Amino acid sequence: MNWLQLAEEVIAGKMISNEEAMAILNSDDDDLLKIMDGAFAIRKYYYGKKVKLNMIMNAKSGYCPEDCGYCSQSSKSTAPIDKYPFITKDEILAGAKRAFENKIGTYCIVASGRGPTRKDVNVVSEAVEEIKEKYGLKVCACLGLLKEEQAQQLKEAGVDRYNHNLNTSERHHSYITTSHTYEDRVNTVEIAKKHGISPCSGAIIGMKETKKDVVDIARALHQLDADSIPVNFLNAIDGTKLEGTKELNPRYCLKVLALFRYINPTKEIRISGGREVNLRSLQPLGMYAANSIFVGDYLTTDGQEANSDYRMLEDLGFEIEFTQKQEEVFC
């Protein structure tokens, strides 16, 4: 297959077929660079060589009643993690200051649990108002299943984006969790969109899904019109249902990133959790398909040092995308 020609057709408005999508995932490793060349052509057309940086603030850890099989914070997990209730506004602001100083464009406030309480939403709302005034960061909230009035309050406070991952295909969803439905997740994303908050929703790859499931979730996120799509690669944690699962290799992970770019050409594709342990030495190649990464640690697992990411982007000749206030300081 002529992958660069397919990329040009995608730029012209073509949606790739299921056969073409599966061909990416089933391709011979010898074709990997050609596939990535096509993915980069699409990425460069829409985003040039700019990279969006994101940082997570784990605002509440553990104590989650859900049974998600990948998560160390779930009620079924026996993983030894730090557990603490929702942090204070001042702690959220301190994290935003660190994000600004580390050239992060999007600050992600994440909390465990089925959904936020009224108090949680109030704390986030008050913090976001100050973050916008002091640092001008884009703010993404990830607080679980969302109600209409909560979405409206977050929007009024200045939350730019709401993350709620579909995680896997509708068919495979019940294998991953039974304490909420696939439709519950879709509904939360739709509520955020309804109230004018940019939707962020993605996937976790490597949870014993089939390649067809990977294609299906990439298409579902296209249909959902998610503006930002985090692609996570399972970092199987001891004490979780998926403990010991090791289905991925760096070359397959790159094919997955390329697939998401071919199917979602205009969207922010973010290499997210598990990139260090799954892409390993091939992490730089991932940036030819993706245009966004998390910098620093994740929720309960460590990321690589931020300086390593900055050096990687510099070596690639890519450019960090700053907020207006950061441009005034760093540029």
Q: Are 279 and 267 in contact (CB under 8 A)?
A: no
State the angle between helix axes of 118-134 and 89-101 in degrees (0 to 180), rounded to the nearest 10: 40
Q: Are 279 and 17 in contact (CB under 8 A)?
A: no
Which amino acid is located at 145 in the chain?
A: L
Q: 253: annotated binding-site residue?
A: no
Q: Which two tokens stand for residue 69?
A: 């099989």
Which amino acid is located at 290 in the chain?
A: A
Which run of H or E residues covers position 185? helix 182-194
- Residue 109: strand pairing partners: 57, 141
Q: 142: annotated binding-site residue?
A: no
Q: 270: annotated binding-site residue?
A: yes
- Residue 221: strand pairing partners: none
Q: Are 157 and 141 in contact (CB under 8 A)?
A: no
DSSP 61: B
Q: Which residues are annotated as a binding site?
A: 64, 68, 71, 108, 140, 200, 270
Residues annotated in a binding site for [4Fe-4S] cluster: 64, 68, 71
Annotated binding site for [2Fe-2S] cluster: 108, 140, 200, 270
